[in-house]
């Protein structure tokens, strides 16, 4: 009989939160994969956590495939700049889905409108690139993100698996 070893159980540590500002999107209906293809420019934002803080640069975007079953599969790639000047490249892939009325409300967010984040699933798995130095710990950990869609963009909290 084997015993449970807690050293093999995942533990998560809060790394940082990012608030993204998104520009108006383009939407192409019925690509060869079905559903829709979106392009959403990342126009700015900021991030902060116990070990880093800085701004999101206007260099990149989110390219999503909305599947025929309504699942929003995203692949976001953009640059962040730490307060010390270090550039950090992020590639963030994940899923957002929920009941059709909730997903429709997220797509049509208007000023002052909010959609309860507990009413839909928004999870992601980012990877990072950064030069050697004080922030290269980002390149040596597995991260997961939990997000919410807001009127102006996305907020995502990232956790490192330790």
Encode pLDDT of 16-75 as tens digits.
Answer: 999 999 999 899 999 999 999 999 999 999 999 999 999 999 999 999 999 999 999 999
Domain residue ranges of the chain, discontinuous segments joined by +: 11-161
pTM over 0.85: yes
Domain 11-161 classification at class level: mainly beta
Q: Cα-Cα-Cα-Cα dihedral of 24, 93, 12, 85, to 10°?
A: -60
Using pLDDT thresholds of 50, 70 and 90, give the confidence band for residue 1.
low
Average pLDDT taken over every residue of the chain: 94
What spatial distance separates the first Cα and last Cα of the chain, rounded to whole Å?
Answer: 27
Per-residue pLDDT, averaged over 82-108, amounts to 95
Question: Using CA atoms, how far apart are residues 110 and 81, in angstroms rounded to an integer?
Answer: 29
Question: Using CA atoms, how far apart are residues 43 and 106, in angstroms rounded to an integer?
Answer: 19
How confident is the model at residue 81, as a pLDDT?
98
Per-residue pLDDT, averaged over 138-156, amounts to 94
Q: Cα-Cα-Cα-Cα dihedral of 43, 40, 76, 33, to 10°?
A: -170
How confident is the model at residue 2, as a pLDDT?
64
Three-state DSSP class for 13? strand
Q: Lowest mean pLDDT: which of 51-60, 107-116, 153-162?
A: 107-116
């Amino acid at each position: 009989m084997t015993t449970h070893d807690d050293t093999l159980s995942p533990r998560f540590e809060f790394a940082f939160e990012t608030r993204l500002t998104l520009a108006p999107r383009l939407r192409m209906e019925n690509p060869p994969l079905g559903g829709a293809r979106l392009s959403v420019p990342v126009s700015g934002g900021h991030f902060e956590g116990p070990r880093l803080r800085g701004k999101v640069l206007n260099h990149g975007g989110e390219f999503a495939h909305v599947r025929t079953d309504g699942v929003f599969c995203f692949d976001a790639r953009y640059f962040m700049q730490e307060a010390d000047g270090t550039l950090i490249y992020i590639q963030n892939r994940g899923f957002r889905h929920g009941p059709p009325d909730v997903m429709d409300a997220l797509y049509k967010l208007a000023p002052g409108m909010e959609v309860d984040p507990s009413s839909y699933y928004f999870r992601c798995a980012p990877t990072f690139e950064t030069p050697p130095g004080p922030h290269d710990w980002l390149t040596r950990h597995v991260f997961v993100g939990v997000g919410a869609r807001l009127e102006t963009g996305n907020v995502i909290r990232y956790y490192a698996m330790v």
